[in-house]
């Protein structure tokens, strides 16, 4: 991870080798390979060192890992909805807004569909739906974590990188559209933004931890954290580094409790806190 982060933020290899294929046909090859490298180049050496290579002979491991990473790799560069946005939107603002909404919601339905099939084939006897369970979790610690993060988010909100990236919808430049006020447009946007975090938790902590732990046990955590870090390349470097450790911690929690609701609370709560902090900074500075 140190090598990957250093190369990316020194030479921009993610932008040069991967991001330029976003929305292009070659992206459907580049992105799956990108995630395969992140996952298997982390997991296989671990299994070699710990003398657990027998796990690589398990068919369920290969089917699940390939399918999960493939769905991530195929959904990420999917950008065909831009043509729909151009047909529906009458102004550049409307087109931009529709693209953002589709960009945040495009993962959830394909992911849920794949996980339903996987559960019917391999995990029919497992409780819950890849960590989405009402029982088996004490929620108080997660809200305590959010309280502890408030000072950190507050400090970070004064940084230029933070203010340029958040809030994700710069509502002050958007006019009223589709017969909705800017406030209603912002609420719809934040709901779509929130759904994206739910799909992220369902994939990384649900599929790659709870789904893969049946085969890999605790060895599923570090490989997941690596892929999770890779999807953050392009964001501020501090957020990328924290995503690795945060993803690892959430992975351990999901593994121990077989529940991802706590991760959803922390992830979604932190995202909304950063949005709110950036909005406050905007009003303070303007």
Scored b (16 or more CB within 10 A) or e, 230-253 reads bbbbeebeebbbbbbebbbebbeb
Structure tokens at 98: 């529709």
Please report the pLDDT score of residue 143 as a whole number: 93
Helix axis angle, 182-201 to 92-105, nearest 10°: 30
3-class DSSP state of 24: coil
> What is the residue whose two structure tokens read 């790799």?
73
CA–CA separation, 225 and 211 (whole Å): 15
The tokens for 244 are 């690795």
What is the pLDDT at residue 219?
Answer: 96
pLDDT at 3: 87
Measured CA angle at 18 (ends 16, 19), to 5 deg: 80
Q: What is the mean pLDDT of each run of 10 residues along the chain (286 residues)?
A: 86 82 88 95 96 96 97 92 91 94 93 96 93 84 93 95 92 93 96 94 96 96 95 84 90 92 91 96 93
Q: What is the pTM of this model?
A: 0.87
SS percent in the chain: helix, strand, coil, step 5: 75, 0, 20
The two three-digit tokens of residue 241, written as one number: 């580094």
Strand, helix or coil for residue 15: helix
- Sequence-separated (6 or more) residues with CB below 8 Å from residue 136: 257, 258, 259
Q: Residue 107: which residues within 8 A CB-CB, separation 6 or more? A: 75, 196, 199, 200, 203
Q: Output the CA–CA distances (angstroms, integers) from residue 58 to 44, 47, 62, 65, 278, in the order listed.
A: 13, 13, 7, 11, 47
Query: How many residues appear in the chain?
Result: 286
247 φ, ψ to 5°?
-65, -40
Which helix (H) or strand (E) covers residue 101, if one does? helix 92-105
The Cα-based distances of 255 to 49, 118, 192, 275 in angstroms read 22, 18, 27, 29
Report the greatest alpha carbon distance in the chain. 62
**What whole-number distance in Å separates Cα of residue 192 and Cα of residue 255?**
27
Tokens linked to 245:
């450790």
């Amino acid at each position: 991870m140190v090598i990957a982060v250093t190369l990316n933020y020194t030479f921009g290899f993610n932008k040069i080798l991967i991001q330029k294929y976003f929305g292009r046909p070659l992206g459907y090859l580049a992105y799956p390979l990108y995630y395969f490298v992140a996952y298997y180049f982390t997991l296989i050496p671990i299994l070699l060192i710990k003398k657990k290579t027998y796990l690589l002979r398990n068919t369920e491991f290969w089917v699940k890992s390939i399918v999960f990473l493939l769905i991530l790799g195929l959904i990420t560069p999917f950008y065909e909805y831009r043509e729909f946005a151009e047909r529906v939107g009458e102004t550049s603002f409307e087109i931009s807004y529709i693209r953002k909404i589709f960009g945040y919601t495009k993962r959830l339905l394909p992911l849920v569909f794949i996980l339903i099939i996987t559960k019917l084939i391999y995990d029919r006897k497992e409780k819950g739906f890849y960590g989405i369970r009402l029982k088996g979790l004490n929620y108080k610690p997660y809200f305590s974590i959010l309280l502890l993060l408030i000072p950190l988010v507050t400090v970070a909100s004064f940084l230029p990188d933070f203010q340029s990236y958040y809030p994700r919808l710069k509502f002050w430049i958007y006019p009223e559209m589709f017969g909705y006020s800017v406030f209603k447009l912002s609420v719809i946007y934040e709901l779509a933004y929130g759904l994206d975090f739910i799909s992220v938790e369902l994939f990384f902590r649900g599929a790659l931890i709870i789904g893969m732990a049946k085969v890999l046990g605790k060895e599923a955590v570090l490989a997941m954290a690596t892929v999770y870090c890779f999807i953050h390349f392009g964001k501020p470097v501090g957020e990328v580094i924290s995503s690795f450790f945060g993803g690892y911690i959430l992975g351990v929690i999901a593994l121990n409790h077989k529940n991802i609701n706590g991760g959803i609370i922390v992830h979604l709560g932190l995202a909304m806190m950063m949005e709110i902090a950036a909005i406050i900074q905007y009003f303070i500075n303007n």
